[in-house]
C-alpha cells in the first residue's frame, strides 16, 4: 500500500515537474529585480536539500503562507483563477487531500531547465486510505514497476515515464530522470553534497519567505525558453532571483537580475520607469476605469534601479488591499 501511495503522489509531482520550465521561463521574462541586501537562507528553505551543482530553484513554503489568513486567501484566489491549477485541485480532492491544509512546502531544483532534469520534493500529510482508493482507480492508466532502493518507475497511458520515491512518510520525490532522482535521494540522505548556505543560487532567499525562484544560468535556458527568446534586454541576462514574503500584513517582492553590461541595465531601468509613467498617466485620464487605476497603483509601488550590471526591484503592498482589487481603488485625480 505504501508504494502505491507513493505512486499516487508521484503522478501529482510529475504534473508539477511538467510546469517547471514554464515557471522558470515566466520568472526569466518577468524579472526586472530588487534593491535589498541578500539575507541569509531561511530555516524553511533547507540548503542541504538542494544539490550542490543545481543551477535553478523554485520554492513555495505553503505553511509560511498560511500563517497569515489574508495570504491564504491570496494563494487560494491565485489557484482558482488558473485552469491548470483548478485541474490540480480537482485531482487533490479525488485523492482525499486538502489544499493547502495538507501541504507544507514544495521544492523544485535542477541543473538544466527542462522536463528531464528537474526534481520535485514535496512535504505533505497524506491519508493512506484515500490515496489507496484513488490509486486503484488509476490502475488502467498507468504501469508501475518497482525498482531497487525503494524507487518506482511509472509509465502513463501516453507513454511518459517518470520515477518517484518516498524517503520519509511525509516526503515525496519525483523526476523524469532516474539519475537525477537517485542523486537527490543521496543529497537528502547526506551521502552526496548539498548546497552551502552562502551559495550564489540562494543569495536572495528571505527569512520567512513564501516564494523563492533563482537561476544562475539564465543565458543558457534550452528549448526556445528564456532570455534569448524574450525582449532584447533579456538576451543579456546571466542570472537572477526573486523572493516574496509577508510581514505585518504586507506582501513584499524583491528581485535582482544580472546583465552583461551596465549600459543594458541602465536602459532596462529607463524602460521600466517609462512604463510606470505611462500607467500613471493613463490612470489620471478622465476616462480611466477602476481597473486601470488599480494597476497604476500597483505600478507606483514598484522601485526600480540599477547598480552596475544589476537591475534591482522592490515592491510592497498591503495584502488586504491587493485582495480587494479594483473596487477599492480611489477615483482618478485630475
pLDDT digit string, tens, across residues 183-215? 999 999 999 999 987 888 998 888 778 889 998
The whole-number pLDDT of residue 102 equals 81
Q: Is the pLDDT of residue 28 over 60?
A: no
Cell numbers representing residue 183 in the block: 542523486
Q: Is the pLDDT of residue 124 over 90?
A: no
Determine phi and psi for 77, rounding to 5 degrees: -65, -40
Q: Three-class SS of residue 310?
A: strand
Q: What length is written for the chain? A: 334
113: left (phi over 0), alpha (psi -120 to 50) or beta: beta
The whole-number pLDDT of residue 154 equals 86
Cell numbers representing residue 236 in the block: 543579456
The whole-number pLDDT of residue 119 equals 92
pTM: 0.77
Q: Three-class SS of residue 282?
A: helix
The pLDDT confidence band at residue 216, using thresholds 50, 70 and 90, is confident
The whole-number pLDDT of residue 11 equals 45
Q: Cα–Cα distance between 225 and 215 in angstroms, integer? A: 13
Q: Cα–Cα distance between 252 and 87 in angstroms, integer? A: 28
Q: Name the residue ranges covered by the structural domains of the chain.
A: 2-32+83-193
Q: Is the pLDDT of residue 220 over 70?
A: no
CB count within 10 Å of CB 263 equals: 12
pLDDT digit string, tens, across residues 248-282? 888 899 999 998 889 988 988 898 888 888 877 77
Q: Is the pLDDT of residue 51 over 90?
A: yes
Q: Is the pLDDT of residue 23 over 60?
A: no
Q: Is the pLDDT of residue 21 over 50?
A: no
Amino acid at each position: 500500500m505504501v508504494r502505491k501511495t507513493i505512486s499516487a503522489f508521484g503522478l501529482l509531482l510529475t504534473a508539477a515537474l511538467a510546469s517547471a520550465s514554464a515557471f522558470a521561463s515566466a520568472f526569466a521574462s518577468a524579472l526586472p529585480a530588487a534593491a535589498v541586501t541578500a539575507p541569509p537562507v531561511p530555516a524553511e528553505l533547507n540548503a542541504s536539500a538542494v544539490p550542490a551543482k543545481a543551477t535553478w530553484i523554485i520554492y513555495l513554503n505553503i505553511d509560511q503562507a498560511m500563517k497569515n489568513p489574508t495570504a491564504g486567501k491570496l494563494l487560494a484566489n491565485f489557484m482558482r483563477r488558473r485552469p491548470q491549477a483548478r485541474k490540480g485541485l480537482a485531482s487533490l480532492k479525488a485523492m482525499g487531500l486538502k489544499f493547502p491544509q495538507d501541504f507544507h512546502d514544495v521544492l523544485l531544483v535542477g541543473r538544466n531547465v527542462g522536463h528531464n532534469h528537474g526534481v520535485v520534493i514535496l512535504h505533505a500529510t497524506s491519508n493512506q486510505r484515500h490515496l489507496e482508493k484513488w490509486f486503484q482507480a488509476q490502475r488502467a492508466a498507468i504501469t508501475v514497476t518497482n525498482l531497487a532502493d525503494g524507487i518506482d518507475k511509472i509509465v502513463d497511458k501516453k507513454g511518459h515515464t517518470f520515477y518517484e520515491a518516498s524517503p520519509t512518510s511525509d516526503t515525496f520525490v519525483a523526476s523524469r530522470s532516474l539519475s537525477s532522482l537517485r542523486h537527490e535521494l543521496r543529497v537528502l540522505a547526506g551521502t552526496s553534497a548539498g548546497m552551502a548556505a552562502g551559495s550564489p543560487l540562494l543569495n536572495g532567499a528571505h527569512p520567512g519567505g513564501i516564494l523563492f525562484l533563482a537561476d544562475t544560468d539564465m543565458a543558457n535556458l534550452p528549448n526556445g525558453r528564456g532570455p534569448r527568446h524574450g525582449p532584447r534586454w533579456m538576451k543579456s541576462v546571466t542570472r537572477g532571483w526573486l523572493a516574496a514574503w509577508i510581514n505585518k500584513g504586507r506582501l513584499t517582492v524583491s528581485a535582482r537580475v544580472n546583465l552583461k553590461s551596465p549600459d543594458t541595465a541602465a536602459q532596462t531601468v529607463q524602460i521600466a520607469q517609462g512604463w510606470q509613467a505611462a500607467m500613471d498617466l493613463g490612470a489620471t485620464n478622465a476616462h480611466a476605469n477602476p481597473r486601470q487605476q488599480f494597476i497604476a497603483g500597483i505600478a507606483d509601488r514598484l522601485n526600480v534601479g540599477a547598480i552596475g550590471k544589476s537591475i534591482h526591484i522592490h515592491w510592497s503592498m498591503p495584502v488586504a488591499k491587493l485582495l480587494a482589487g479594483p473596487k477599492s481603488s480611489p477615483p482618478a485625480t485630475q
